[in-house]
Chains A and B, each alone.
Chain A
Amino acid sequence: EEEKVGEEKPEVLSPEELEKLKEEVDERKKLISTLRGKPWPMRKKLLTLRESHEFVEKYEGALGKGKSRKLYAYKVMMLKALMGRPYGSMPRKTVPRADEANAMDFAVLWDFGVITNCLFGYAQYSVLFYGYYNSQRAIGWLKFRMPLSYFLVGVGTVAYSYMVVIRTMARNANEDGGGDNNSFNFSWKMFTSWDYLIGNPETADNKFASITTSFKEAILEEQESRKDDNIHLTRFLRVLANFLVLCCLAGSGYLIYFVVRRSQKFALEGLESHSWWERNEVNMVMSLLGMFCPMLFDVISALENYHPRIALQWQLGRIFALFLGNLYTFIIALMDEINLKREEEEVLKLNMTIWEASLYNGTLGVNSTAPPITVHPADIPRGPCWETMVGQEFVRLIVSDTMTTYITLLIGDFLRAVLVRFLNYCWCWDLEAGFPSYSEFDVSGNVLGLIFNQGMIWMGAFYAPCLPALNVLRLHVSMYLQCWAVMCCNVPQERVFKASGSNNFYMAMLLVILFLSTLPAIYTIVTIPPSFDCGPFSGKSRMFDVIQETLESDFPAWFGKVFSYASNPGLVLPFLLLMVLAIYYLQSTSKSYKQANLELKKKLQTVSRTINKVLTLIQHLLYSLCGTCTDIVCSPESKKKGGEHRAHQGKSNHQIPPSATSPPAPRGHRIPGPLPGNQWQPAPSVQRVPNSQRH
């Protein structure tokens, strides 16, 4: 029972005692609010709760009625809010099921020609593409600076993307404790593989089977890794595999180049004289390469005999290289087309002057008050707009990429599943267990696909402003389609290997892609002069001249001067140097902090272990000294092995609860284990004498 320290008459207390009392009351309140998270048996928790409530209610009055009650309520609410929050709760995401396949694919495939005609015919002049936008400097009564806004939005999207990616990477790096997801492989399999939510005997059977298989696989892998392989053969095979992969990459690059050249030839001859395939050859070839080469890489990597995670990283790296190579070949080909268009433009400009002259020739006389010639806008010859052409090419690429994905999904997953399921009845070997069986859901491949899709959007967004909107639509459709496909036709991967310890592997890839995709767009903005008659920058010598123009006309004169000083290379270069040095400095300090952190963790562990040992020694001493005390301590109340950091009764500081089922004598000659109570407070608090013992 608590010691009653004559607190009946509050006015007798000195300020220090009052302060101490207040502290105690606060501690009790804190205890009450954290009670549910303590690893104590229920009986002990209820007892503690009752006692603490009594204590708080009794002495709260001494500290000032009403006010403390309110404070208590607020504090409890605050503490509840802080500590009652679910710790690491897992969101429950249920995947919605789409009922049937999106039949849109077939129709679109069939009418692909119609769609492309529509898109590139009428839509050419729509808001989807660059060519729609007028180059008027200010629009409407608000004087909206359209060209400036177009430019800034383009640049701003890229800057914002960089910011978001890097911020996510920083956040992931903070949460990641230090990717050691391979160091507890067996331990985690043993202690976290059984799903306690299982309530169905069939599911339980499946789970037992999968756990057993998983253990057997892990055992096999462990035995394999212990074997000493013939290192020379392995090395030779790896070199051979890399050589083959390089050949593949070179081959695919050349194929794309060849096909693009051919399509340029077709364009010169006039597109109508060629079949659908020949017209869309480039995109089809790129998509098909993207589909089949990764499978080829997978087969080749069987030669290499790597650990699955390493093999996965190599595979992802190669697919990355493949896509990058293809994309850049595509861009180079696009550059050729741009140059072609610009030459056309020159020719057209020449022709236009001749045409205009011919128009005036007929009506102009000496009399200069002739009525102005009205020419229907549609009759004026339009220059070839290379920017719109670029935008169109990207849209075409994305559309064909989407089509390929959907078709692969339907044939590779759905059709395969249907065949395996129904032909299994009349086939000689078990289709479900052996070849071809159901397809696995390839997480890393799909993530990579998403990343590359995003890269293409970044590349083309400046020239086809509605591309992101189209992509959002496409992503929604993809999500529902793939959700359905996963539920209906896929089996989970046999081995779930993460490509790296944290999500930062994919974010890093995204960052690289962001950089590489925005590079061509920036290059074209800076080097190539815009078309003379289409788009928001028409007529200027360079697209970024719009900034210069805005500075000169919309801002006061001194601003322009400041800006020109600030953009002086003499100022910019030292600034860049300073930033590089700052990055280096921050990098080195962060490394040293990480190191210090690790060391502190280790120290903490050793300190807590030492304290445990000391405490067990003290317990031993107490046992040997006060034999009768242990009899009181081993009362029926404390049969459980809950850790205790406060004694309810008895004079000893720490109770030693003996185990209920172990046979040893009540004196407890067994060595007590580490007191779990210590887990819940930092080490120094153990020295604090429990409240009830204070005199």
Chain B
Amino acid sequence: MLHLQDCTFFTRKEILRLFDRYRDLAPQLVPLDYTDQPDVRLPYELIGSMPELKDNPFRQRIAEVFSEDGEGNMTLDDFLDMFSVLSEMAPRDLKAYYAFKIYDFNNDDFLCKSDLEKTLNKLTRNELTEDEVRMVCEKVIDEADLDNDGRLSLEDFQHMIVRAPDFLSTFHIRI
């Protein structure tokens, strides 16, 4: 427990509360006793159906980024880590790092055009025309790409996002 407190931004009480939430998702799978560190993994479908995440268009990516196996199946540690980073207490740089990973759909450490297009389509539920999507992605690369390689690296992304006034308030989940 002490270890978890050092590794997340949560207090002991909050960790216990989160453990209860985790357990409530699948009481039959999750044992009450975690002292022997059982290897329990909740499938993505259960995580994605949580009220905090179910309306989020990026829930699958969030689960994938924070899960150990990269598929969205989360252990308790992953679960805590995810909500710790998305909590109010996490610093801006940490959030920016994970935001970058979330929006990087193909996991190549760059936000290339296809990543941006996917992000935009998820944001607008495919309501924009192809031309409009293309234009927006070009503008984004135009604005944020500092090293001129046609895609956004982590530095480009961080440089842009730390100046955003809304970033901390929108990239935040309260649980």
CB within 8 Å of B: which residues of A? Answer: 32-33, 35-39, 41-43, 45-46, 49-50, 84, 86-90, 177, 180-181, 183-188, 190-201, 203-204, 208, 211-212, 215-216, 218-219, 222, 605, 608-609, 639-641, 659-662, 670, 672-674, 676, 679-680
B55 touches A87 (CB 8 A): no
Q: Per a CB cutoff under 8 Å, which of B7, B125, B136 touches A190?
A: B136
Q: Per a CB cutoff under 8 Å, which of A193, A222, A608, A660 touches B170?
A: A193
A177-B163, A641-B101, A673-B154 known; A197 vs B174 contact (CB < 8 Å): yes
Q: Per a CB cutoff under 8 Å, which of B3, B68, B143, B153 touches A41?
A: B68
Q: Please, which residues of chain B bring their CB within 8 A of the CB of A609?
A: 147, 155
Q: Please, which residues of chain A bring their CB within 8 A of the CB of B163?
A: 177, 180-181, 184
Q: Is B171 an interface residue (CB 8 A)?
A: yes
B108 touches A222 (CB 8 A): no
B143 touches A211 (CB 8 A): no
Which residues of chain B from 68 to 123 have any CB-CB distance to chain A below 8 Å in the complex? Answer: 68-70, 75, 77-78, 80-81, 84, 86, 88-94, 97-99, 101, 103, 106-110, 116, 119-120, 123
B132 touches A215 (CB 8 A): yes
A661 touches B144 (CB 8 A): no
Residue with the highest number of chain A CB atoms closer than 10 Å, among B64, B68, B106, B153: B68
Q: Please, which residues of chain B bring their CB within 8 A of the CB of A193?
A: 123, 166, 170
A87-B91, A188-B166 known; A676 vs B161 contact (CB < 8 Å): no
A36 touches B164 (CB 8 A): no
Give Cα A660 to B70, complex, Å. 6
Q: Per a CB cutoff under 8 Å, which of B91, B108, B132, B155 touches A37?
A: B91
Q: Is B23 an interface residue (CB 8 A)?
A: no
A674-B155, A679-B158 known; A212 vs B120 contact (CB < 8 Å): no
A661 touches B70 (CB 8 A): yes
Known: A87-B92, A198-B56. 19 other contacts (CB 8 A): A37-B94, A42-B68, A89-B88, A89-B89, A89-B168, A187-B160, A192-B171, A194-B58, A196-B56, A196-B171, A208-B125, A211-B124, A219-B132, A609-B147, A640-B70, A670-B108, A672-B109, A673-B154, A674-B154
B123 touches A208 (CB 8 A): yes
B160 touches A184 (CB 8 A): yes
Q: Per a CB cutoff under 8 Å, which of B56, B136, B167 touches A215?
A: B136
Q: Per a CB cutoff under 8 Å, which of B94, B107, B108 touches A39?
A: B94
A673 touches B153 (CB 8 A): yes
A185-B143, A222-B139, A673-B110 known; A197 vs B172 contact (CB < 8 Å): yes
Q: Using CB atoms, name the residue of chain B closest to A185.
A: B143
Q: Is B32 an interface residue (CB 8 A)?
A: no
Q: Please, which residues of chain B bring their CB within 8 A of the CB of A37?
A: 90-91, 93-94
B56 touches A88 (CB 8 A): no
Q: Please, which residues of chain B bring their CB within 8 A of the CB of A218?
A: 136
A662 touches B88 (CB 8 A): no
A192 touches B135 (CB 8 A): no
Give Cα A199 to B64, complex, Å. 20
Q: Is B146 an interface residue (CB 8 A)?
A: yes
Within the complex, the shortest CB–CB distance from B82 to chain A, in Å, comes to 9
Give Cα A212 to B7, complex, Å. 38
A605 touches B77 (CB 8 A): no
Q: Is B173 an interface residue (CB 8 A)?
A: yes
Q: Using CB atoms, name the residue of chain B closest to A211.
A: B123
A35-B6, A36-B7, A640-B68 known; A194 vs B55 contact (CB < 8 Å): no
A212 touches B127 (CB 8 A): yes
B136 touches A198 (CB 8 A): no
